[in-house]
Each structure stands twice: as structure tokens, then as C-alpha cells.
Structure 1
Amino acid sequence: MHEVTALLARARDAVIACHIHPDADTLGSGLALAAFLRSRGTRVSVSFAEPSALPEVFATLPGSGDIMRPSDVPAAVDTFISVDAASSDRLGELAGYVGTAAHSIVIDHHRSNAGFGDVNYIDATADSTTVLVARILRQFGEAPFPRDIAHCLYAGLVTDTGSFRWCGPEAHVLAAELIGCGIDAVAISRDLLDTHPFGRLGMLSTVLGGARLLPEVAGGQGLVLATVHEADLLGLPEDERETVIDIVRGTAEAEVAAVLKETGPARWAVSLRSKQCVDVARVAAAFGGGGHARSAGFNATGDQEAVIADLVRELG
């Protein structure tokens, strides 16, 4: 952390990269850090590689209107910062800055992150990457936080902890601190977690109606799985598919939940969740993915049933 703060203190121009298919943690981390650096006079660009437009659900994040397309980001900067990306390939085309910027910084909380920057601040015990950003900003004496920064930090915190259902004491203490900065925590949670288009109900009806329970998988602890096909998302924002896993994971008869999300012909993004004892990060790593012990994912190609069979085999 001290190496990171030393580099940030000297940064004249910086690119902050959020991971592809961004969530509130990567965006909240990037936008909070950008707001702070700009207040110090640093020229900052915030970007993500995919999809081509910011999902509408994140439009209320302060500073979201300043997010740039990768093609508009300066080609040469002295400082490159990756936030919440477990590996460089999660940055898409922005990964090239890791080798071309004078200094590259990685800030992340994924256990599978091996450290791909010049300086790596990785803490797998942190409940969100915004927790790490808050620690960094405190090193500069940035507390209490300005309201726009507090808003961004809280957005990442409340979403990555599942509304504080799975987190440690530091997350609750930070939440109290951020609410004390004057943010509307209820509105932030409502905008990010409880507001969906009407068409989502039809999508859920189709997807959940086809869910399967395999009680013998994972040593008899059970696997519940569902599939989201591209056709199920017609007329819906792409990010709505990411909400399915949080519904499926509540199945009482299964320790592990999986959602296969079709991203193209014979192409799948697979989300994994577990409740208490199965390390899904290990399972995801077997397929080239990663994440946390209770929340992980990987990409796969091939026939849907073949992907499921491989997953079942790995779970045991």
C-alpha cells in the first residue's frame, strides 16, 4: 500500500482501467480513485474495454459520464492503474498499458491474482476492492471522504458484499464511515440492486423454469444450475444476466450454484457460488478462471452439456 501511495503521489497523468463487463466494485474503485487524483492535479482517464457502452444501472455513479472508450485514452501515461481485475486478460485491450506505462499498479482483492503490475496491492481478505481504495485514500489524509468519492466507494462495497450478507467487520465499519459522509445509502442500494426492467421477469421465468438440481454432485452436497441463452436477453441490458446467480444460489438443497451464460455460438461465461465448504475458485482455476473461495467464474467453449459434464466432473 505504501508503494502504491508513493507512486500515486508522483503521478502526473494516469489511466485507470476497470475490468471488462464492469461491476460496481471495479467502477466504484476506479471513479473514486480518479476523483481523488484529479483533486491533486493529476490528469486521469478512466476506461473499460467491454461492452461498448456503460450499463445503464451504473449511470448514477458520480463521474460515470467521464468514462472514456479505450480508443480515446491517451497512448502514453506515466501511471497505469488496474482496479478489481484478477488478471491482465480481464482488462481487454487496455492490458497493453501494463507494459508501456512508466509505472503499473494493480489494486485487487481476488485470491487468484498473481500480480501483473510493477506494484501489486492485493489483499484477498478484503471484502471489495473499494475497501483497498479507501485504505489508500486514508494514507493521504482523505477522511472524511467527499460525498462523490464516498458514493463510489459504497457502491462497490454494498454490491460485492451482497448487501453485507458476506463480509467481515471492516466492511461494516467502512459502511458506517461512508454513510457519515452524507451519502444516501438507501438510494444507492436501490439503484444498483433493486431496480430492473419489466422484461427481466420474463427472462427469469424462462431461465429459472429450466433450472436443474443435481443432488449427487460435490460429494453429495448438491449442485443447482441454470442457463441464460442469448435469446433470453432480447431487449434487456446485458448486465441483467449477472443477477441470475444470486437467485439460484439460494437453493437450500445445493451447496454449489452455477449459471451458464451464453456469450456467442458455443461460448459460455460460467458463474459459480458456494455457501460454506466448496472452494469454487479452485474449480474455476481448473478451467482457466479464478475468483474467491465462495464466488468465482470461468469461460468455456463447446456444447452446453459438455461444459456441464466437465463442471460436474471437477466438482466431484
Structure 2
Amino acid sequence: MLRAAPAVTVLCHVRPDADTIGSGLALALALDAIGVEVEVAFPGPWPLPEALGSLPGAKLIVEPGDLVGHPVAVAMDCASSERLGDLAAILTAAETGIVVDHHASNRGFGDIDLIDPAADCTAELVLGILDEADMPVDRDIATCLFAGLVTDTGSFRWARPNSHLLAARLLETGVDGQGWTRTLLDTHQFGWLTMVSGALQSAVLVPEAFGGSGLVYAVVDHSCSRTIDWDEAESVIDLVRTVGDADVAVVFKESAPHEWTVSMRARSHTDLVPLARSQGGGGHPHAAGFSASGPADEVIEKFLTAV
């Protein structure tokens, strides 16, 4: 379908991360190389993080209002159509809508669904598509795929064996693995330190939660996050999840007054998908999330009641 299409629209999810953008740009670069007209977009209002804007192929990204909306559209790394925001209409209007994703909560919403929860990242699935379509993977494409792979595996801390093999293959094309890992995972603005300090001071341990497995949660309110780029707050969950007293870690992030995104992580046996779905979200058994609205204490209380 992709090779035969004269033009393709690639859609990435709201608050784009390295897997959705890296996967989208990798596919777009490969299609562009074989003469397919291609456009890439993600829903606003949040801007693309600076690190992701420096990935190869970023010039193919257009503003949502400038989208043509081609006959074939691909939703990349979206667990549900809601993750596309207003751009979900582009997928619906396409003659063929394709969904490429690795989230266990994804029940499929395209004409063609490639959903594999066994994959560590959507970038892995895109590489499989390129191989199946006999499209060459050069250094630029490999760099975009590596961005998705290294971030979604936490710098390979929870990677399956196949991800290490994929990383070796991508690095052999000349990808600057060390440089991109620093850029994507270990580079923050100075204001990030203040934000992290406030978040950690807000941390609460609830040992009896999840049947005694324990919960630790923290809050990043709007006053802490507004002085830095929105994506900087995403890293807080990786600090909170290191607490060994709780199997589940949660971070409530206020993107605008009374508007929250909630990230959840499980260290071992807790399956977070049912909880995420009950709150209108989704994800993986050990990494999921959802959105919420209201004052902080009400949002937290509602979550604790659901737990």
C-alpha cells in the first residue's frame, strides 16, 4: 500500500516523543527517497521539542493547517485515535488509514492495523515495514529509528534482546549513538533542576495501594513547569519510578491550569492498562497514562479512589 501510493500523510501523536516523531520521519524519508510525496504533522498546541526538531527529515514536518491530507494516511505510535487530536479527521478522511503502533491497549482504528505489543517501540515496526518493502535504511533513517528505540527502552534498561540487535544494525549505518543518547535523554535546561526539586518534594508514598504493592506519586504543577519546555517534565517519572518501596510510580503534570497529563510506571507485576483505560487513557502493562482536568487535589483523589 505504501509503495504504491502517490502521496502519503504521516501523523504523529500529541505531545510528540522520539518514538512517534522518529518513526514518522524514518518512514517519510524512506518514502521520499522512492519518489512518494509525503507530509508529516502532529497536533498542537505544544511545539516540537528542540532535540526532535534536529532529527534528519524534520523539514518534512508541516503545520497542521497546511496539511494536504493524502489518500493514504499513517497514524504513528498512537494507542487510540484520541492521541491524534484534531488530526484524527485526516486519518478518517483518507482512502486508506494505516495504524502502526506497539501499545497493548490499542484495539485498532485504521483500515489496516499493524499493532504488535511484543515490540519495544514503534520504530521497530517501521524498520520491519522498510525491510518488507525492500526500502534501504541509510544513516538518516537509522538515526530517526534509533531515537525511538533508545528512548522507549529507557536507554536499553528494559529492552528485549531483539532491541539490542536492532541497535547494532542501526549503529552500523553510522548513527552517532552516544551523541543522540545524550541529546535525547541526558540534556536539560537549568530550570529543570528547580522543577525536579519541587516535584520530588511533593512525592507521597502510599504503601497499601495496589493490594499492598505500593504507590509513589509526585506532582509537577503549572507554576513549576511553565518556565521550561513542556517535554522537560516528562523525565520526572524516571526519577520517581526508582523508589523501591512501591511497585507503581505516578506523576501528575499540569500542562495548563487544571489540565493534567498523568504518567504511570510499574516496576514488576502490576498491569496498568486496565487502570489507564478506566481513566480514558491507555498504554503498556508497565507504562501507561491518561489525561485529566480539575484542581490537583480532586484529580489525585479521583485517581486514588480508582486504585
1:225-283 per-position Cα deviation (integer Å, ceiling 9, x unaligned): 00111110232101111111011000111100000111333322111000111111111
Identify the match of residue 159 of structure 2 among 142, 164, 167. 167
Residue of structure 2 equivalent to 1:212:
204
Identify the match of residue 111 of structure 2 among 118, 125, 131. 118
Question: Pairwise mapping of residues 230-309 of structure 1 onto structure 2 (< 5 A)?
Answer: 230-309=222-301
Residue of structure 2 equivalent to 1:4:
none
Structure 1 runs not aligned, ≥5 long? 1-6
Percentage identity across paired residues of the two chains: 47
Residue of structure 1 equivalent to 2:44:
50
Residue of structure 2 equivalent to 1:139:
132
Residue of structure 1 equivalent to 2:146:
154
Question: What letter matches 1:89 in structure 2?
Answer: E
Question: What letter matches 1:170 in structure 2?
Answer: N
What is the distance in 1 between the residues matched to 2:218 and 2:16? 22
What is the distance in 2 between the residues matched to 1:182 and 1:153? 13
Q: Which runs of 4+ in 1 moved over 4 A?
A: none
The reply on whether 1:26 has 2:27 as its aligned counterpart is no
Q: Is the 8 A contact 2:38 2:60 kept in 1?
A: no
1:58-90 per-position Cα deviation (integer Å, ceiling 9, x unaligned): 122111133111101114x11100100011111
Question: What letter matches 2:233 in structure 1?
Answer: R
Match of 1:10, SS state, is coil
What is the distance in 1 between the residues matched to 2:179 and 2:82? 33
Once structures 1 and 2 are overlaid, which stretch shifts more, 200-209 or 298-307? Answer: 298-307
Q: Is the 8 A contact 1:24 1:156 kept in 2?
A: yes
1:169-221 per-position Cα deviation (integer Å, ceiling 9, x unaligned): 11111001001111110001011000101111111111111111111111111
Question: What letter matches 2:41 in structure 1?
Answer: S
Q: Is the 8 A contact 1:52 1:69 kept in 2?
A: no
TM-score of the pair, normalised by structure 2 = 0.97
Structure 2 runs not aligned, ≥5 long? none
Residue of structure 1 equivalent to 2:71:
78
What is the distance in 2 between the residues matched to 1:58 and 1:171? 21
Identify the match of residue 312 of structure 1 among 301, 304, 307. 304
What is the distance in 2 between the residues matched to 1:180 and 1:263? 39
Once structures 1 and 2 are overlaid, which stretch shifts more, 262-271 or 156-165? Answer: 262-271
RMSD: 1.2
Shift of the 263–233 alpha-carbon distance from structure 1 to 2, 3 Å rule, reads closer
Q: Is the 8 A contact 1:18 1:47 kept in 2?
A: yes
Once structures 1 and 2 are overlaid, which stretch shifts more, 288-297 or 217-226? Answer: 217-226
Match of 2:290, SS state, is strand
